[in-house]
Amino acid sequence: MKWLLAGLSGCVCAVLGCLLAGWIASLCVEWYRISSFEGGAGYYVVFLALGGAFAGFAIGAVTSLVVMLQQGNFARGFGASLGITFLVAALSLGLAWFFGDVPPTLRGDSLELLVELQSPPGWKPSVKMRRGETWIRLESITYGDSVRGSSYGQIDWAGLTERDGRTIVPAAIFLYTSTGKRGLSAAFGDKLSLHFPLPLPSHPGEEFEQWSAWLPEGDNPGLNEGFRYRFRVMRYPLWQAQKEEKRKKRIESIRGEILALPADAPLESWLRFQELPDERDYLGVQERTQRLHDVFTSRADELPAFLNHPNRDISQRALMALLTLDTIPDSAETPLRNYAARLAADLREMRNLRDARGSDEIDASGMFQSVQRWLDTWERYLTRGKRQPPDVSPILAETALWNGDAAVEPIVIALEDYREHWKRAERQAP
């Protein structure tokens, strides 16, 4: 009978241990920022919950049995089992909280850290810099001055301003932890790296909702390349509402610009309006697409010249515009053929960047999309009865210099498939 009662106590404590361990694990998912990629966070919670069930059964069964053997009282044994289960859970929760990254709160809300970086006079971020490895992050630093953890934020390039000849770069970072000292790091490209101490306490009070002074105080151009910063915290719901309001105003402004733009405005202005946010209740997809299509159709003969534009972004937009036309003009043939050399040059620049970094880790997905868009445009052009597809050998010759790098493998496959496609078309032609 005692063994049966001990087993019953173990089962009850197993259920309790499973529930408590699952709850603690769900908190740890946030505190330790466990990724949900491929169900990782879910597996973590389930694994700990099962561990809690096994531990609960062992505590309940053993404790009840020992107490009953010594005192012959099941109620005391069962109560002791429950008490020990809750005690172990409380100790586990305390340790997880102490070592984890628990976000601080203010008036019950989590916090967003707002930062403004002030550049030295005359400095401006280039387009290449904005698209490169530019980031800002909040760091949790141990009292031995080593970085124990960090969280990346968002740089608001649309919110750049200029004051007294200095560029102000705004950014926002979720205040993810109350552990350790704080530090702020930022990088603009490969050559500009900034590191600042951040005088923010573990649990900021209401006084930190106001902007700090510009730091470091004074004007020392030799410190962090002459950059300074200021910061404040904002309750997360207020920050989200403010962000949404800014987004709505920006999109409404863009909507007004494109609808007011005359059809005979410089074609480059129209090309810049191709990729806008698709926001319900503002500038609809159909409304924008139809207006762009009408303009590009009426000015189709002007588009091919933009394939040679020095700005790669404008050149790509011209290619996208040609792809949307019902009929691609004959004047596009030579620029389209010459575009292979431009794509090869872009690949060469990427390869040089990869070699300069000394790493094979480079994202060529954007380059693949450019090549595929060019091939699609040619497909549209050649369906008009022409039988002279472009020479893709300059691009293939460049990809051969990548020494089998997997980053360019999709490009090679697309070009080889294109070649085979036109070989079959030539064999089937009358």
Q: What's the DSSP call for residue 177?
A: -
- pLDDT score of 210 more than 60: yes
Task: For residue 275, name the pLDDT band (cuts at 50, 70, 90).
Answer: low
Q: Give the whole-angstrom CA distance, residue 97 versus residue 106.
A: 18
**To which H or E segment does residue 71 belong?**
helix 40-71
Query: Is 5 exposed, middle or buried (CB count within 10 Å of its CB: 0-12, 13-18, 19+)?
Result: middle
Mean pLDDT of 200-211: 91
pLDDT at 361 over 60: no
Confidence of residue 230 (pLDDT cuts 50, 70, 90): very high
Asked if pLDDT for residue 30 goes beyond 80, the answer is: no
What's the length of the chain?
430
Q: Is pLDDT at 381 greater than 60 in this prediction?
A: yes
Q: Which amino acid is located at 257 in the chain?
A: E
User: Is pTM, for the whole model, over 0.75?
Assistant: no
Q: Which of 57, 68, 65 is nearest to 10 (CA)?
A: 57
d(CA 192, CA 130): 13
Q: Are 134 and 188 in contact (CB under 8 A)?
A: yes
Compute CA distances 118 → 115, 128, 193, 288, whole Å. Answer: 10, 20, 14, 37
Token pair, residue 262, equals 């005359």
Spatial neighbors of 92 by CB under 8 A, at least 6 apart, are 21, 24
The structural domains of the chain, ordered by start, are 2-99 (no CATH), 105-236 (2.60.40), 261-428 (no CATH)
> What does each C-alpha distance from 325 to 289, 292, 328, 335 come to in angstroms?
12, 10, 6, 16
Instruction: Please state, as a whole number, how many other Cβ atoms lie within 10 Å of the Cβ of residue 262.
Output: 7
pLDDT higher than threshold 60 for residue 280: no
CA-based nearest residue to 257, from 234, 277, 273, 244: 273
Judged by phi (left if over 0) then psi (alpha if -120 to 50, else beta), residue 226 lies in left
CA-angle at 194, arms to 189 and 196, nearest 5°: 155
